[in-house]
């Protein structure tokens, strides 16, 4: 399985960028009052991308050497992912006020940036190390 690591990692990165880009588009369009971000086909595309991303992430976890867990960057990344999902859920909720959704949208984007930073630098503080 280790011989497939570069392809699996590239797939993970591609899916992560697709997921983030789709959220960026959906959240921005939702704040502008557009209806397409809430269409079932768009939601299903998002669910499909995120499910594939989670699957590939679990595959990467299964083949990584234990040294990757030594400094806690994966734990920090997973914690940020939970926060990102919560903010994203609140940002895309149509029943909340515009200001609340906008603040949650901005917080989700900032959290996504932190996730990227942690993954890029392999350090729990990411760019702030």
Question: How far, in Å, are 9, 10, 104 from residue 5 at the CA level?
Answer: 6, 8, 35
Tokens representing 16?
A: 């992560």
Q: Are 79 and 126 in contact (CB under 8 A)?
A: no
pLDDT of residue 92: 94
Q: Kindly state the average pLDDT of the residues 47-67.
A: 89
The pLDDT tens digits for 72-127 are 898 899 999 999 999 999 999 877 899 999 999 999 999 999 999 999 998 999 99
Q: DSSP letter string over 23-73?
A: HHHHHHHHHTT-SGGGSHHHHHHHHHHHHHHHHHHHHHHHHS-GGGGSSSH
pLDDT of residue 55: 95
Q: Which pTM was predicted?
A: 0.91
Distance, CA of 64 to CA of 67 (rounded, Å): 8
Question: How far, in Å, are 17, 22, 42, 43, 70 from residue 46 at the CA level?
Answer: 12, 7, 6, 5, 32
Average pLDDT, the chain: 93
pLDDT of residue 61: 86
Question: How far, in Å, are 60, 111, 120 from residue 90 at the CA level?
Answer: 29, 14, 27
Q: Are 93 and 87 in contact (CB under 8 A)?
A: no
pLDDT of residue 104: 97
């Amino acid at each position: 399985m280790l011989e497939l690591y570069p392809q699996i990692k590239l797939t993970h990165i591609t899916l992560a960028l697709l997921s983030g880009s789709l959220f960026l588009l959906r959240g921005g369009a939702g704040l502008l009052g557009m209806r397409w971000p809430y269409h079932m086909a768009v939601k299903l595309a998002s669910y499909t991308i995120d499910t594939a991303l989670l699957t590939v992430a679990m595959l990467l976890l299964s083949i990584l050497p234990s040294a990757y867990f030594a400094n806690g960057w994966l734990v920090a990344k997973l914690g940020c992912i939970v926060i990102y999902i919560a903010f994203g859920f609140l940002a895309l909720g149509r029943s909340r006020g515009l200001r609340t959704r906008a603040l949650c949208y901005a917080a989700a984007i900032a959290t996504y940036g932190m996730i990227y930073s942690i993954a890029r630098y392999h350090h729990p503080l990411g760019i702030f190390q």
